[in-house]
């Protein structure tokens, strides 16, 4: 048995195992390349899908931002209109106020007193005028104080002046207007509306 040569058999086995090993490596490399390519395609598909979602979200956000801007503009317009309506209602409500003020002046001013200048600033009226005597100025102040429309008459200046006689005087005074709440309608309008 010592004469049997096993070397070609071993070399054939080695060559066959080497061939199997190279084939296995090639199969593993091909499988790895296919897996890597599949993984890359899957990730690219997911990234593309996410990018599509992101662009859709951006478009929706832009559309919603435009709607929010339009809503803000509409709210601003609404507030402007409400402010205008309030001013108009206030003016409508205060329209007869100046008539009431002059009417109350007519009732409060005694004979022998004449105004040359009336200036209104907020709720205060500055008066300048002439009186036949200082007693007439005192009567004017008492009647203004007793009026429902005026309060706190304050005489700021009195000078002797003979325009209205030898006891005459020129005066300056300030008086405050009492703000009365504006009625929604006169009693006659309310009575007519009820019938």
First to last CA, the chain: 143
Q: Which residues contact 118 (CB under 8 A, 6 or more apart)?
A: 125, 126, 127, 128
- pLDDT, tens digit, for every residue of 112-158? 888 888 888 878 888 888 888 878 888 888 888 888 878 888 888 88
What confidence score (pLDDT) does residue 194 get? 43
**Portion of the chain with pLDDT greater than 90, in percent:** 35
162, part of any domain? yes
Q: What pTM does this model have?
A: 0.45
The encoded tokens of residue 100 equal 């009431």
CATH number (domain holding residue 133): 3.30.1360.100
43, part of any domain? no
The encoded tokens of residue 149 equal 């429309």
Question: Which range marks the domain in which residue 129 is found?
Answer: 90-177
Which of 92, 95, 100, 90 shows the shortest CA–CA distance to 177?
Answer: 100
Residue 115 region by backbone torsions, left for phi larger than 0, else alpha for psi between -120 and 50, else beta? beta
Bridge pairing between strands 124-131 and 169-177? antiparallel
148, part of any domain? yes
What confidence score (pLDDT) does residue 187 get? 39
Split into its structural domains, the chain has a count of 1
| Mean pLDDT, residues 59-81 | 95
Q: What are phi and psi of 155, to 5 degrees?
A: -80, 120
């Amino acid at each position: 048995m010592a004469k049997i040569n096993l070397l070609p058999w071993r070399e054939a086995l080695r060559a066959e195992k080497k061939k199997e090993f190279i084939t296995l490596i090639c199969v593993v490399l091909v499988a790895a390349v296919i897996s890597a390519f599949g993984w890359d395609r899957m990730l690219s598909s997911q990234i593309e899908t996410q990018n599509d979602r992101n662009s859709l979200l951006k478009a929706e956000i832009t559309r919603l931002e435009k709607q929010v801007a339009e809503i803000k503009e509409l709210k601003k317009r609404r507030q402007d209109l409400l402010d205008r309506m309030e001013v108009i209602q206030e003016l409508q409500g205060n329209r007869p106020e100046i008539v009431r003020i002059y009417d109350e002046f007519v009732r409060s001013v005694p004979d022998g007193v004449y105004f040359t200048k009336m200036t209104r600033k907020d709720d205060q009226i500055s008066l300048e005028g002439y009186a036949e005597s200082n007693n007439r100025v005192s009567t004017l102040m008492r009647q203004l104080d007793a009026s429902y429309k005026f309060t706190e008459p304050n005489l700021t200046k009195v000078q002797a002046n003979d325009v209205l006689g030898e006891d005459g005087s020129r005066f300056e005074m300030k008086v405050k207007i009492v703000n009365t709440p504006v009625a929604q309608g006169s009693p006659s309008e309310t009575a007519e509306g009820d019938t």
